Chains A and B, each alone.
Chain A
């Protein structure tokens, strides 16, 4: 029910000298309900821009994004976002960060705390419900950010390199947890990463973007079930294929 349709999407950022940076051009993508899509590509190829347009934080120059047939015109709690930077409100405790969206919806205090508690438990941080963000590690902060986005019960969860700042071990654990959350909540997830390993581990489809102007180079289906074995031969094979593709798009400059 929560498919995302991207049609002929283009985005140009005007520059000081009157020309423009063409960040995206002619992007067509159909994302199915409950799919887990990973966007990969070299730095500056427009991954963040594409995600922000889906979120409604940026407006497209050409083309359009529709979710469930409705055009995206601005930010909406139906499309949750987890940012690359730490975006928790430092003045709110964990519980009140997670309950923020419900508070904006006008949900009563009791009920929104109950709901928030459920999501905090889902990301395994019940012990920290009354902590302030500064008391949390980087991994915990991103878990709270995920819980905060999920508490709004969005149709689509957009994630921009959410684990980019974490160490390798924490990162692997977070990937497992995310898959379990995805399994429990059946959300459509669009996940940006520069780690091909992460993409092959998580995605049902990997979308490889090529830069200047950002456009879709290739879409790779990964039909394997989870959990996936990073050390298997087929995993290594797909990873190599995607890496080579990214290399080629970069060297084509």
Chain B
């Protein structure tokens, strides 16, 4: 048995033991599904939700919120980060504004998200945008500031005449690994904001909304289902992104740091 399968098997064994313990505690020690739903309660709730079709619909809605927010954060965060990282004047101009806005917790924007956008997909997307924007901006800015000078000078002597050419052909490719790390962090933050935004009523559907709604209905097994789905979805999104970046985009970078 090699190490990898050994690791897998041990992990699965531990999961099974934990589930069994959970089941025993829930059923024989606590004994009330409201306080601690058992594994079987949760599995039953999962099947019901799946059959009713709401689960899939809510996953789609949440992914939509997430996608809108992340896309907006990328479309604004990367270019502004580039401007601030490359042009000192842009840095001087924008830095104070960014420094004032950045410490505001994304969730504090929820009231205005609702006032500006109503209870729409965009409102939830906006809150996620606020959460994801700053990590992307900061990572892009820092990445551009730390592009090795010799790459920029090599670009210049090889015929990059304008800032645009240097950014496009030298600085941006050099910065991609650090920007990708920033995007990963931003996705984590964005996912947390998603749940909170939906919970706080920015939306009338989605995983976060349903989690909170089922709490009101005292359907605690359903709440656990949504908790687990949120965790899994977050994990899967992160994995997909990481694999994509590692394998497709950044073969060269893996070799550089290894």
Contacts and interface: CB of A to CB of B under 8 A. Distances in A.
Contact of B159 (A92, A104, A133, A135): A104
Nearest to B172: A91
Interface of A: 55-57, 74-77, 79-81, 83, 85-87, 89-92, 100-101, 103-105, 132-135, 148-149, 152
A29 B151 CA distance: 29
B165 interface: yes
B107 to A, nearest CB: 38
A104 B252 contact: no
B156 interface: yes
Interface residues on B, range: 20 to 34
Nearest to B251: A132
Given A90-B253, A132-B251, A104 B157 contact: no
Given A87-B150, A104-B169, A57 B158 contact: no
A135 B150 contact: no
B154 A87 contact: yes
Contacts of A132: 251-252, 255
A57 B156 contact: yes
B157 A75 contact: yes
A133 B255 CA distance: 9
A133 B150 CA distance: 15
Nearest to A89: B151
A215 B61 CA distance: 71
A104 B165 contact: yes
A100 B168 CA distance: 13
Contacts of B173: 89, 91-92
B159 A91 contact: no
A105 B157 contact: no
Given A87-B151, A91-B173, A77 B157 contact: yes
B157, B170, B174: residue with the most chain A Cβ atoms closer than 10 Å:
B157
B36 interface: no
Nearest to B174: A91
Nearest to B149: A85
A77 to B, nearest CB: 4
Given A75-B157, A101-B159, A132-B255, 18 more contacts: A76-B157, A76-B159, A77-B157, A77-B158, A83-B153, A85-B148, A87-B150, A89-B154, A90-B252, A91-B173, A100-B169, A101-B158, A104-B158, A104-B159, A104-B160, A132-B251, A132-B252, A134-B256
A135 B158 contact: no
A54 B162 CA distance: 20
B39 interface: no
A31 B255 CA distance: 42
A166 B151 CA distance: 20
Contacts of A92: 173, 252
B83 interface: no
B157 A80 contact: yes
Contacts of A133: 252
25 contacts: A56-B157, A57-B153, A57-B157, A75-B153, A75-B156, A75-B157, A83-B154, A85-B148, A87-B151, A89-B170, A90-B252, A90-B253, A91-B173, A91-B252, A100-B158, A104-B158, A104-B159, A104-B160, A104-B169, A132-B251, A132-B255, A133-B252, A134-B256, A134-B258, A135-B255
